[in-house]
Amino acid sequence: MNSVQLYADLQRAEYEAHSHTREGAEAMVAERYAEARECAEFQAQWIVNEHLRRREDITAPVDPDMRILDFGCGVGRVMEAMVDLGLENVDGVDISPAMLAHAAASPTLHNSRFWQTNGHDVGGAPEGHYDLAYSLICLNHISMRQTRIDIMRALGRALKPGGTVVLEFLYYPSIRSSQIPLPHVPWDQNRTSVGTNSAADVWLTPDMLGELADDMRLAFRDIALHDIEPWENVAAPSDNELYPVRHNSLLATGTVGRRMLKRWAGPKAFAEAARRAGASSS
């Protein structure tokens, strides 16, 4: 068995060992799960807004039937937030069968489908099927660069032409890659580890942003990076042995296939969008 699969097996075993109960699974997702679930409402809206602004026709109404894929869905906290926005075609992928079982048991996600990844694919999720795919605080737990690239390519294949991807990482703007403490690794390294889920992560630093963009260009175009301070209603990160350096979130976004916009929509298009919105509310 090669090192890539051994590393994936390590990740699966770690999540399975602590996810026998819903409470244990939630603790693996976030130390303060209730706050993380509340934060998911803001995250879901941000992700959808990013997709909407990347459409060729930015004045078109939101399609409630658009198809969405959550990679590293865990117990489904962001999927549930997507459904709360009125978007019910939200599917999930995770490496842990126990996590997937907890997500599938959610009444909110009764319309969702779930697949188990082998650690570097999207499982049985169909290719060319989704309008939007996202992965929040998942790829930063993967220290192997090649595995992250494999996942990004798999997400690209799952998206329709013009589909949007949103990837969230922890971002450390105050340090360089040479200052990252072991066993964590810089973005440009391809290293397995003996731990996962915060015990041995890839730490994204300013001098590695170009490397991140280069890797995303293997599957996407129109790459954009967004440095976001801690989400509203989530306490600022505290100093501890896992995260001894304060961090932000970095949202990396891209589009599959075609260009983001054929032309700038211009003020007339925005006025037309406002007119439609007023007509629909009357």
Q: Which of 31-45, 152-166, 200-214 has the lowest mean pLDDT?
A: 31-45
Confidence of residue 235 (pLDDT cuts 50, 70, 90): very low
Would you say residue 148 has pLDDT above 90?
A: yes
Measured in degrees and rounded to the nearest 5, phi and psi for residue 33 equal: -65, -40
Higher pLDDT, 107 or 279: 107
Which domains can be identified in the chain, with CATH numbers? 3-281 (3.40.50.150)
Confidence of residue 274 (pLDDT cuts 50, 70, 90): low
Q: What is the pTM of this model?
A: 0.86
Each residue's pLDDT tens digit, 245-263: 788 999 999 999 864 444 4
Confidence of residue 81 (pLDDT cuts 50, 70, 90): very high
Edge-to-edge strand list for the sheet holding 68-71:
114-116, 90-94, 68-71, 130-136, 159-171, 248-255, 221-228
Each residue's pLDDT tens digit, 165-177: 999 999 999 999 9
Each residue's pLDDT tens digit, 180-220: 998 899 999 988 766 666 678 999 999 999 999 999 999 99
Each residue's pLDDT tens digit, 14-23: 888 888 999 9
pLDDT of residue 204: 96
Each residue's pLDDT tens digit, 105-128: 999 999 999 999 999 899 999 999
